[in-house]
Amino acid sequence: MPTKTSTPLSCGYHPELDVSPLIDDDETNYYQNMIGILHWAVELGRVDIHVDVAMMSRYLVQPRMGHMNELFHIFAYLKAHKWSTMVFDEAHVDINEAKFPKHDWQDSY
């Protein structure tokens, strides 16, 4: 398992091209549990791994050893970047609504 990573998935990894051996039922259950944990991490604010977790979730039914290794890679990324934060610009944007065309949406609904 990697210890320091700069990206959630290995550079150039394509899970759809993975031909490593399929994992057994117990490891599949473990894979599914790890995906569940990562989904919670995304829900709690780790949006930086959202796409990668969604990509790896496609293989919940029949994961391969390479897929499992990539999940370990995502956890190593989270460990290496545990203090990552999102910053929002609170500046007020003044929008001139006159520049937008008016439309009667009654016909659409």
What share of the chain has pLDDT > 70, as a percent? 98
- Structure tokens of 88? 């929002």
How many angstroms separate the CA atoms of 103 and 57, rounded? 41
Every domain of the chain and the residues it spans: 19-80
How many angstroms separate the CA atoms of 43 and 25, rounded? 27
Strand partners, 64: 22
- pLDDT on residue 82: 86
> What is the sign, positive or negative, of the torsion defined by CA atoms of 25, 31, 36, 39?
negative
Could you give the C-alpha distances from 55 to 38, 52, 63, 70, 97, in angstroms and in order?
A: 12, 5, 12, 11, 39
Q: What is the pLDDT of residues 67-83, one digit of tens each?
A: 999 999 999 999 999 88
Q: Residue 1 — pLDDT band, cuts 50, 70, 90?
A: low
Q: Residue 9 — pLDDT band, cuts 50, 70, 90?
A: very high
- Structure tokens of 100? 């937008």
